[in-house]
Structure 1
Amino acid sequence: MEVEIIAREKIKPSSPTPQNLRILNLSLLDQLMFPMYIRTVMLYPTTHNLNDTPKRLQLLKKSLSETLNRFYPLAGKLRDDISIDCDDEGANFVEARVHCTLHQFLSQPDFVSSLEKFLPCELVLMGSGAGACITNVQVNVFECGGIGIALCVSHKVVDFSSITTFVKAWTATARDDFSVIPSFAACSLFPAVTDLSTRSLHVELVVAEKNCVRRRFVFDGPAITSLKARSSSSSTGFIPSRVEAVSALIMKCMIAAAQERHGGKPRPSLMTHAVNLRSRMSPPLSDKGIGNFVLEVGRIRSAEQSRELVELARELRDAISKVDVKKLGAEILEKVKERDELASKEGVDYVAFTSWCRFGLYEVADFGWGKPVWITNNVSDRFKNLVVLVDTRLGDGIEAWITMDEQEMNIITKNNQHHDLLQYAALDPNPLIYSPQT
């Protein structure tokens, strides 16, 4: 599949940012986020005459410019470790042509790995991040008229909730609705600090020395219902959520794969899950709050502890339920240091989970020509033992994007009694299967 770059330009805010807003301080949680891009692609099927494509591209540019007027930090660049230069430099905007139809692309056996060609930037880790462009967009036009809009936005500035809010504002603006007004108050809630020695350790823990293998496992609604039943406890009344049940199964399989790879000897493990702090604040923070409001929580598990699904799911819920935003403050650094110390112990298998579920991106990502048929998570294969959970288009299923060591990936994809991931999930299925538009 060939993707041809047609044009590159900068999309600046529709009006200059006032001088008093030219510098935005990062929050502590922003600082702790290692410098990488959140990368996603929204794929839209053919719904128009091909002659209308230039008009759609112009609409995307105009509405992006007007949206950046309100989301002005996203049109700037990282100034240093603690601030953004809101200099209106603009977002990188790339126009590309895909020399195949959307259906042909999704019918390829390796379409997941080919998604990299749709991205506006190859750079995953941004070094110190200083001077890096915050927002990058690539609009990929298929021969059939379908469109793939790729976003790469600095994780130092936004989390996935922020991405959803930005897309919601952008699509609404394209429909002449300017009602989505963001808030940039993260730095006042979690002030930045100067000593962040733990951050570099976290990068060492999650970035692999060599590229790992990335695979996509799709759990449909009935499979999740069955998995939740298996992960429940009638004696205690515990019933896991979709995310808890899927996370427990994946963790169970990854623990077993690591054990098998290391000669069958049981190993301690650490499962962490990113928690959205917005709803846990008092009063709850609106989803219009832009920045990183996420914190990883988890606990170490000894090699001898039970690996039953109900125990893994319950431990995940217990760890998340103990997050008390009122008591965080300076304790954030202590929790991060504790996590890194546990994860860096020899022989400990560290698996990091994050969930994009229930943010509603499918519902808001309509520029006026319909909702996307598929929204991807383009987690890089540079990361090891990373699991990103994403809603399927119908909303009742979950796509699990997993990056891990190739040998261990080969183990968990064996469909046997010890590694039963494929009893519940389909491996890299065509996403159109899960779309009512087909």
Structure 2
Amino acid sequence: MEVHIISRENIKPSSPTPQHLKIFKLSLLDQLICCPYAPIVFFYAMNDSTASHDLDIQERLALLKTSLSETLTRFYPFAGKMKDDLSIECNDEGAYYVETRVNCCVEEFLSQPDLMLLHEFLPCDLINTKELATAGACVTNIQINVFDCGGIAVGVCISHRIVDGAALSTFLKAWTSTVRGCDKKIYPNLFANSQLFPANDLWLRDTAMATWGCLFIKGNCITRRFVFDASAITTLKNQSTSSTVKNPTRVEAVSAFIWKYTMAASKDKNGSSSRPSLLTHLVNLRTRMVPPISDYSTGNLLWLAAAECSPNTYNPELHNLAAKMRRAISKFDGDFVKTLTSTQQGNAVMSESLKEMAEFGAKDEVDYFGFSSWCKFGFYENDFGWGKPVWVSSVGLSSQVFMNLVILVETKSGDGMEAWLTLDEKDMNILVSNPEFLRFASVDPSPLLI
């Protein structure tokens, strides 16, 4: 497969940003994020007749650009450039926009996708570039990839400093609804985050970087996809049920299952007794506030729920691990979030929480697993006017310094789940050779078959 760049340009907002809005302040929580972008790729099949194929493609591409321009007016910081770690310069230079041609059919690629080739569909080099999303970098980067068959892959890299999963979903909903000519426009709440969590310095970033530094691993990592169908998830939910967790969620059940077997793989690799393990799950604070704030609030309204499993309390049964996660996540109620928004108390709680994770992670032979869920964000509802995506993907990672990461994504049908695991290569080899794990998870199946 070859991806040829046809054009590069900047798509400017359809209306200029008012002078008094030229500097957009980031929030305190935006400093928590260590990765520069939130990359995602949407694959769309070509279902129209081939008679109007070429003309139809050109019309689609033109509409994508005009609708993006209109959408950027409402999301004006997305059309700017990173000024520094505290702000965005809303200079209306626009989104970096690339169009390519791919010399194969979309179904051919999706029959057995190479996770590392997914980078080819993105407008940013996430592998070789050492400094990303720094001062002067575009906030929004889009790549439109047209396959020989007329299928299209839309690659999106928006600065993680201004979007989490929910905020990314809001932008995509706004863009796709504009493409389709919907009467009701989606307007973001751009200021809720910085008003609730104002930032005047970089103390949280420095504290967070110290924490992440303790959780990085040296080795060779690899990313694999594991798909859990509806039947497997139902069984895992039943096995995760206990008096503490009477109705585990799909995310809790699948996370507990993955946590159990990644810990087991690490134990087998090291040929030792059980090792201490730390799991974190990103929690969306929007719905946990009292009263809840708009789902259309941009920024990173996230905090980390952390659960520990130490050798002296080691119990790998799913119901025990699910209960640990439930206890960690249940702390995020209205009172806790209210405490976070109180400047003095909140800063102390955030600092202490990160320091506790860093201290646990700094212990010898500790395994860390970071989970993030894209479920319930409606990514499969993003219709640019030619149908819903046949696949929504993350990307494969390859590095000698990395963190064990798990991204959970709903399947197109909505009743299954994909888990994108990035682990040490030796751990991964043990995991994919475990027949108990493979009873529930399919390894890298074609997205066309799920």
- Shorter-chain TM-score: what band? over 0.9
Which residue in the other structure is 1:163 paired with?
Answer: 168
Q: Following TM superposition, by how much is the alpha carbon of 1:237 offset from its aligned partner in structure 2, in angstroms?
A: 6.3
* 1:199 alignment partner, one of 189, 208, 216: 208
Which residue in the other structure is 1:132 paired with?
Answer: 137
CA distance in 2, matches of 1:126, 1:337: 26
Which residue in the other structure is 1:321 paired with?
Answer: 330
State whether structure 2 residue 425 is matched by structure 1 residue 406. yes
CA distance in 2, matches of 1:255, 1:100: 40
1:129 aligned counterpart, secondary structure = coil
2:98 aligned counterpart, secondary structure = strand
2:311 aligned counterpart, secondary structure = coil
Which has the larger displacement, 44-53 or 61-70? 44-53
Q: Following TM superposition, by how much is the alpha carbon of 1:265 offset from its aligned partner in structure 2, in angstroms?
A: 1.9
Aligned residues: CA RMSD: 1.6
CA distance in 2, matches of 1:210, 1:61: 42
1:38 aligned counterpart, secondary structure = coil
State whether structure 2 residue 233 is matched by structure 1 residue 224. yes
* 2:358 alignment partner, one of 322, 340, 357: 340
* 1:148 alignment partner, one of 142, 153, 162: 153
CA distance in 1, matches of 2:444, 2:266: 22
* 2:296 alignment partner, one of 282, 288, 302: 288
Q: Counterpart of 1:267 in structure 2: which amino acid?
A: R
Q: Given that residues 111 and 448 in structure 2 are in contact (C-alpha distance below 8 angstroms), is that contact kept between their aligned partners in structure 1?
A: no
1:259 aligned counterpart, secondary structure = helix
Which has the larger displacement, 365-374 or 327-336? 327-336
* 1:377 alignment partner, one of 368, 378, 394: 394
Q: Given that residues 274 and 355 in structure 1 are in contact (C-alpha distance below 8 angstroms), is that contact kept between their aligned partners in structure 2?
A: yes
State whether structure 2 residue 255 is matched by structure 1 residue 255. no
2:185 aligned counterpart, secondary structure = coil
237 and 390 in structure 1: CA distance in 2 versus 1, 3 angstrom threshold = closer
Q: Given that residues 13 and 69 in structure 2 are in contact (C-alpha distance below 8 angstroms), is that contact kept between their aligned partners in structure 1?
A: yes
- Report sequence identity in percent: 51
100 and 237 in structure 1: CA distance in 2 versus 1, 3 angstrom threshold = closer
* 2:66 alignment partner, one of 62, 79, 83: 62
Q: Given that residues 169 and 180 in structure 1 are in contact (C-alpha distance below 8 angstroms), is that contact kept between their aligned partners in structure 2?
A: yes
CA distance in 2, matches of 1:246, 1:355: 11
Q: Given that residues 164 and 301 in structure 2 are in contact (C-alpha distance below 8 angstroms), is that contact kept between their aligned partners in structure 1?
A: yes
Q: Given that residues 35 and 129 in structure 1 are in contact (C-alpha distance below 8 angstroms), is that contact kept between their aligned partners in structure 2?
A: no
Which residue in the other structure is 1:390 paired with?
Answer: 409
Which has the larger displacement, 199-208 or 276-285? 199-208
Q: Counterpart of 1:188 in structure 2: which amino acid?
A: Q
Q: TM-score, normalised by structure 2?
A: 0.92
CA distance in 2, matches of 1:412, 1:238: 28
Task: List runs of 5+ in structure 1 lacking aligned partners.
Answer: none
CA distance in 2, matches of 1:208, 1:315: 24
* 1:81 alignment partner, one of 72, 85, 93: 85
Q: Given that residues 35 and 128 in structure 1 are in contact (C-alpha distance below 8 angstroms), is that contact kept between their aligned partners in structure 2?
A: no
Q: TM-score, normalised by structure 1?
A: 0.94
How many aligned positions are there? 428
Q: Given that residues 12 and 89 in structure 1 are in contact (C-alpha distance below 8 angstroms), is that contact kept between their aligned partners in structure 2?
A: yes
205 and 217 in structure 1: CA distance in 2 versus 1, 3 angstrom threshold = farther
CA distance in 1, matches of 2:257, 2:245: 19
74 and 209 in structure 1: CA distance in 2 versus 1, 3 angstrom threshold = farther
Which residue in the other structure is 1:122 paired with?
Answer: 125
* 1:95 alignment partner, one of 92, 96, 99: 99
CA distance in 1, matches of 2:133, 2:360: 25
State whether structure 2 residue 27 is matched by structure 1 residue 27. yes
2:430 aligned counterpart, secondary structure = helix
Q: Following TM superposition, by how much is the alpha carbon of 1:207 offset from its aligned partner in structure 2, in angstroms?
A: 4.9
Partner deviation per Cα, 1:23-76 (whole Å, 9 max, x = no partner): 111111101211411001000110234221011000101100100001111111
CA distance in 2, matches of 1:46, 1:334: 52
